[in-house]
Amino acid sequence: MAPSFEPLLPSAKQSATAISERPPLYAEADQNKLEKKVEKYLANYGTKFQKDVITGTHGLYVFTANGHKVLDWTSGQMSCLIGHGHPEIVKVIADHALYLDHLFSGMVSPPVINLAERLVTNLPSGLDKAFFLSTGGESNEAAIKLAKVFTGKFEIVGLGASWHGVTAQALGAQYHFGRKGQGPMMPGMHMLPQPNAYRSVFRKPDGSYDWETELDYGWNLIDAASCGSLAACIVECIQSSAGMHVLPPGYLKALKQHCEKRGMLLIVDEAQTGVCRAGDFMAINHEDVVPDILTLSKTLGNGLPLSAVITSDHIATTAAERDYCFYTTHVNDPLPAAVGDKVLEIVLRDNLVQNSREIGAALHAGLNRLKERYACIGDVRGRGLMAGVEIVADRSTKKPALELARRIGDRAYELGLWANLSSHASFGGVFRIAPPITITRDVLDRGLKILEEAFASTPGSMPLY
């Protein structure tokens, strides 16, 4: 018999606490049988599947078919901002699945109106109108098309090591992975150097990162390569897939000035940094920069497919006059919009931006203590409840230690902690940490202890004392 389990806990605080039993939904699943079916029926889409089949999620935890309970420090795919199975989100999904799920794309419903109002009224002036799609790649595709229609130009600038999606225009502006094997990219795509404070060769005489010279150098190259039709630049405030690299203070303002000088729009992709994740309501608030277009996804839907494109009245009106079209089957769908509106209600009502900032400070302090202890940690970076821990073979040469990082990650998982390891050679072995922002200090400390035990019990971690 499956263990008893109550899926609807009475409060959000309780929904983020530990539970001792795995959820009953697939409690009788057989790991070995499922493994064989994975091999037989599932196609590869660009990643190697984890061996364990996940049969349940709740609060801050995931549960496997073989009975393993693991603290989820990546919020699913960096998306379950307020935890798995949050009771208020569950109720919204159930109510709208029953009474208001999906509509003709030209129809509008209260959840869409409410989400747009709540979102826009909490954003700076100049981000005045919104529409809603399904994925981050889709919202970036829509934003790039919007910039092209508004400016009448077609060249797009992205940053090295960026990740914006796998649709044509989003992928064309993405310089991390996924560009090979399909022939030419979209025409008119240009790349700025990645703002990597840890590894950049641009240095001042004192050895500090000279991002200003690097940025000017990059724009000089783009000006030389451009055919004179620069439309927009798209940027992440923290390059998560690249290894949690934070834009240096002042970088975003300088980038906007470069765009304005060339008559371009600035698009900021806050798929992972948006909605309190990085210690501010939006990461743009941290630098006091208002982009021409803002895109959201992941965190806005708490794991459901929901994304947003927000822009100014002027851009929205002008683009409409020029027949801008991004008409999809699931544009402005009521059910995911209702979830997004509830997510915003919860994070604002419960002051979760403050929790992200305070618990985030404790997270970074704990990770830096590990850095003091283990010489294999070359760098700790991030902001709020986003953190990157880069594993190296030697701190002086900064040579990546991919195999060591993998063994540390496997050990942490074995001990009950999942922290996504970015193992692609473009950025070396970096743990990407982003737990739900409902996490408590007790649970954070529990995760840090597991992580320390993983380092301590993995040969080659180079303890310093």
14 is catalytic: no
**% of the chain with per-residue pLDDT over 70:** 94
The pLDDT score that the predictor gives to residue 19 is 54
Contacts of 212 (CB under 8 A, 6+ apart): 254
Mean pLDDT of 431-454: 97
Known active-site residue 236 = yes
User: What pLDDT is recorded for position 9?
Assistant: 37
Domains of the chain, each with CATH number or no CATH: 12-35+68-85+352-456 (3.90.1150.10), 91-349 (3.40.640.10)
Active-site position among 153, 262, 381, 432:
432
Verify whether residue 369 is a known catalytic residue.
no
Section 424-431 average pLDDT: 74
Q: What is the pTM of this model?
A: 0.94
Write down the catalytic residue from 88, 138, 141, 236: 236
Respond yes or no: is residue 298 known to be catalytic. yes
Give the pLDDT band of residue 161 (cuts 50, 70, 90).
very high
Predicted confidence at residue 4, as pLDDT, reads: 34
214, 272, 411, 452: the active-site residue: 272
Task: Verify whether residue 418 is a known catalytic residue.
Answer: no
Any long-range contacts for 96-105 (C-beta under 8 Å, 24+ apart)?
A: 96/334, 96/335, 96/338, 96/339, 97/335, 100/334, 100/335, 100/338, 101/333, 101/334, 101/335, 102/330, 102/333, 102/334, 102/335, 103/332, 103/333, 103/334, 105/327, 105/328, 105/329, 105/330, 105/331, 105/332
Residue 7 reports pLDDT greater than 50: no
Q: Is there a catalytic annotation at residue 261? A: no
